[in-house]
């Protein structure tokens, strides 16, 4: 299962949602967190990824089974993997093999516009919070993904800075 985490407000970091997920699972957890956020410290039970660069983190995902991988600030992985074939291959292997390997992969994006559309092919869940993304830009990028676009519009229009939409991709939208 892949959880795609959307964005944050200054008041409620979306990483709080990631922590809630991590508290519910019982599997080794590898977190790439270059900000070294305090919230993730209890979950770095195998690998202190903040000491490694993103290339080392991605390459070291190979062969792991029944493992949770958290990509905090995930846009860096997609920004740089296309430049190096070996990194793109490592990411592709991780995503394509996630179900067979029983891995949970969480990508945390702080801007919906930074999320690559190709990732949706592997996603089961998106948690969407407030962003500063422009409605027309999100419509042009995600318009064909009705569930995502409708959730974005609702979150964007809300005066509740803590609103989140849980989107089971291609099924339904729930609000928390």
pLDDT in tens, 100-149: 899 999 888 888 888 888 888 888 888 888 888 889 999 999 889 998 99
Are 124 and 168 contacting, i.e. CB atoms less than 8 angstroms apart? yes
The per-residue b/e assignment along 104-127, b for 16 or more CB within 10 angstroms, e otherwise, is: bbbbbbbebbbbbeebbebbbbbb
pLDDT in tens, 8-42: 434 445 677 888 888 888 888 888 877 777 777 77
Q: State the pLDDT at residue 4.
A: 53
Concatenated DSSP letters for 43-106?
A: G-SSEEGGGS-HHHHHHTTTT--S-EEEEETTHHHHHHHTT-HHHHHHHHHHHHTTTTTT-EEE
Percent of the chain with pLDDT over 70: 80
pLDDT at 175 over 50: no
State the helix-helix crossing angle for 146-157 and 135-142, rounded to 10 degrees.
170
pLDDT in tens, 62-89: 889 999 988 887 877 777 556 677 778 8
pTM of the model: 0.83
pLDDT higher at 172 or 30: 30
């Amino acid at each position: 299962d892949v959880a795609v985490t959307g964005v944050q407000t200054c008041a409620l970091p979306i990483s709080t949602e990631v922590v809630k997920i991590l508290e519910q699972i019982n599997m080794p957890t590898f977190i790439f967190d270059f900000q070294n956020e305090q919230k993730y410290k209890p979950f770095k039970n195998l690998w202190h990824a903040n000491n490694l660069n993103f290339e080392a983190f991605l390459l070291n995902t190979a062969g792991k089974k029944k493992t949770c991988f958290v990509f905090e600030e995930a846009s860096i992985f997609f920004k740089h993997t296309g430049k190096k074939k070996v990194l793109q291959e490592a990411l592709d292997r991780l995503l394509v093999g996630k179900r067979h390997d029983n891995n949970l992969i969480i990508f945390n994006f702080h801007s919906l516009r930074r999320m690559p559309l190709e990732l949706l092919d592997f996603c089961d869940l998106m948690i969407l919070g407030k962003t500063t993304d422009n409605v027309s830009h999100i419509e042009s990028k995600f318009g064909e993904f009705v569930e995502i676009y409708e959730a974005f519009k609702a979150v964007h229009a809300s005066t509740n800075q803590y609103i989140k939409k849980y989107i089971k991709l291609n099924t339904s939208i729930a609000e928390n």
